[in-house]
């Protein structure tokens, strides 16, 4: 069966299968037109995917590292050879991101499979210094079994590949639960896994109930989740109740500091992308700005000038700012902005629905000044195109206010002072710190947050270790009776009133 956006399907490698559940329309957030249809996986469909995954993983885990790497390189080859125009267009129409970002996201996926293909070949155990002569003592690493991947809508393909590539490299089978808002593009993408063994990768559409069924199943053994803090906590608790390992990337409200030593032209340009990339719907978007007093006015002037140049519109047109993913998402942004303005903030740009875009869930990129640390927009994750600027007296106050948050995903700084750069890297309470270049990542470096922003790490060696468990192995190649084994010699005891004590 071929994939069609108009017909609800699920995927168990290498096949698309029709779904029995009631169809639900997928609506374009820019035009409110129907894009296609999806359904939630039934118990039988979940069972079919897990049965196939269990069978496939039993053979996959036995493959040698070189063979497993060859399979992952084949996925990368398929990615580089495929035409993903339809997949990218579906992503634009499902969730609104500009087409260059959709196609660019997909283009960035092949390297992660190549990285973990080679990481899998470097899977040597760690040999420890022996605690006993004649004993070979080491650690080996083995897969968990079947991993569950619960994906967000903002980067539905890239973030899926981060954890799926690592899990496959570790020897697991993977079951993907896509975000409801980006199910169609995720399903369309599944063809790249057809070179892998039958049943090794599956994609099961659905909502929270589908995710819960996969997490609580006795036939799944590890979970990767990206989404809101509230949902992340629910996932973490469900996993903890079953002693099931999980990686949780739960978003945040990232700070961005503008030092008195910042190169303001660079800082203003970088801040536009940091705050408004993907209409601010990025977990690591800069939401809370702390600008040192001496450069505050000039920075705001430059930042506003560059922000006003951004084009708002349908992601299939020439635009940087598409719609928010849903009416509820825009309503939250509007609530936080309106609350800040009522409490004394000023909208330098935006703060409204663009007059030319009454249809769809559009909102102008917004810069707020006069922000105070007690405002709701500072305490909550906004997840929209809003930069909330707080004026601070110096770099030290900026660091302290940046850390005054329940979140700790990423943090950005613009400065040309090397001492400030190092101090920021040391003092900022976040899993990632960017100096003069926000938002970038590296396949070889761990990605994840502190505090409420998550548990565990994706990417790098830690990203691989998240999907495998260690085993200590002790081998005495010359079997011998050890002197500490039972029974103890009498000389080890001391006499006390007719009783012997060790």
Question: What is the sign of the dihedral through the CA atoms of 90, 91, 95 and 96?
Answer: negative
Q: Are 259 and 395 in contact (CB under 8 A)?
A: yes
Residues in the chain: 502
Nearest to 457 by CA among 298, 273, 247: 247
Supply the Cα-derived Rg of the chain in whole angstroms: 26
Q: How far apart are CA 65 and CA 137, in angstroms?
A: 22
Whole-number Cα distances in Å, 469 to 59, 162, 244, 376, 414:
18, 19, 11, 41, 40
Q: Are 65 and 182 in contact (CB under 8 A)?
A: no
Whole-number Cα distances in Å, 465 to 2, 166, 327, 399, 460:
35, 8, 39, 32, 9
249, 364, 429, 458: which one is catalytic? Answer: 249
Whole-number Cα distances in Å, 30 to 7, 90, 182, 314:
22, 13, 14, 6
Taking CA 78 as the corner, what is the angle to CA 74 and CA 84, rounded to the nearest 5 degrees?
Answer: 160
Task: Tell me, letter by letter, the H, E, C secondary structure of 33-71.
Answer: CEEEEECCCCHHHHHHHHHHHHHHHHHHCCCCHHHHHHH
Nearest to 417 by CA among 435, 400, 430: 435
* Phi, then psi, of 206 in degrees rounded to 5: 150, 180
87, 246, 283, 390: which one is catalytic? Answer: 283
Longest dimension (CA), the chain: 98
Query: Quick check: is 283 catalytic?
Result: yes
Catalytic residue positions, numbered = 249, 283
């Amino acid at each position: 069966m071929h994939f069609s956006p108009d017909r609800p399907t699920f995927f168990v490698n290498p096949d698309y299968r029709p779904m029995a559940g009631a169809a639900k329309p997928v609506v374009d957030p820019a035009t409110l037109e129907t894009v296609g249809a999806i359904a939630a996986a039934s118990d039988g469909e979940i069972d079919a995917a897990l049965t196939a995954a269990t069978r496939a993983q039993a053979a996959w885990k036995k493959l040698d590292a070189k063979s497993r790497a060859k399979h992952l390189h084949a996925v990368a080859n398929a990615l580089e050879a495929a035409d993903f125009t339809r997949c990218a267009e579906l992503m634009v129409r499902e969730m609104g991101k500009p087409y260059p970002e959709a196609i660019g996201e997909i283009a960035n996926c092949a390297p992660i499979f190549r990285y973990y293909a080679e990481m899998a070949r470097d899977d040597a155990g760690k040999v420890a210094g022996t605690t006993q002569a004649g004993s070979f003592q080491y650690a080996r690493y083995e897969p968990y079994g079947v991993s569950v991947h619960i994906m967000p809508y903002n980067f539905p393909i890239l973030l899926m590949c981060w954890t799926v590539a690592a899990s496959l490299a570790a020897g697991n089978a993977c079951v993907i639960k896509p975000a409801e808002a980006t199910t169609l593009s995720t399903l369309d993408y599944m063809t790249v896994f057809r070179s892998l063994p039958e049943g090794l990768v599956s994609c099961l559409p659905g909502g929270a109930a589908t995710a819960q069924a996969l997490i609580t199943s006795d036939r799944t053994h590890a979970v990767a989740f990206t989404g809101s803090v509230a949902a992340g906590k629910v996932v973490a608790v469900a996993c903890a109740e079953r002693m099931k390992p999980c990686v949780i990337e739960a978003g945040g409200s990232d700070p961005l500091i503008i030092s008195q030593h910042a190169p303001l032209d660079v800082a203003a340009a970088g801040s536009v992308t940091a705050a408004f990339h993907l209409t601010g719907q990025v977990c690591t978007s800069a939401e809370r700005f702390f600008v040192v007093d001496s450069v505050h006015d000039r920075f705001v002037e430059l930042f506003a000038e560059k922000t006003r140049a951004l084009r708002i519109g349908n992601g299939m047109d020439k635009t940087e700012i598409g719609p928010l993913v849903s009416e509820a998402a825009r309503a939250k942004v509007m609530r936080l902005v309106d609350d800040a303005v009522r409490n004394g903030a000023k909208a330098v740009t935006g703060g409204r629905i663009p007059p030319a875009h009454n249809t769809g869930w559009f909102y102008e990129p917004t810069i707020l000044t006069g922000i105070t640390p007690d405002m709701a927009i500072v305490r909550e994750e906004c997840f929209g195109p809003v930069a909330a600027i707080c004026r601070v007296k110096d770099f030290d106050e900026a660091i302290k206010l940046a850390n005054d948050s329940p979140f700790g995903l990423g943090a950005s700084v613009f400065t040309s002072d090397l001492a400030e750069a190092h101090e920021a890297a040391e003092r900022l309470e976040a899993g990632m710190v960017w100096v003069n270049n926000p938002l970038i990542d590296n396949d070889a470096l761990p990605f994840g947050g502190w505090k409420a922003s998550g548990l565990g790490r994706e990417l790098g060696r830690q990203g691989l270790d998240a999907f495998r468990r260690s085993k200590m192995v002790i081998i005495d190649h010359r079997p011998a009776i050890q002197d500490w084994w039972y029974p103890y010699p009498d000389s080890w005891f001391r006499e006390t009133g007719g009783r012997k004590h060790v």
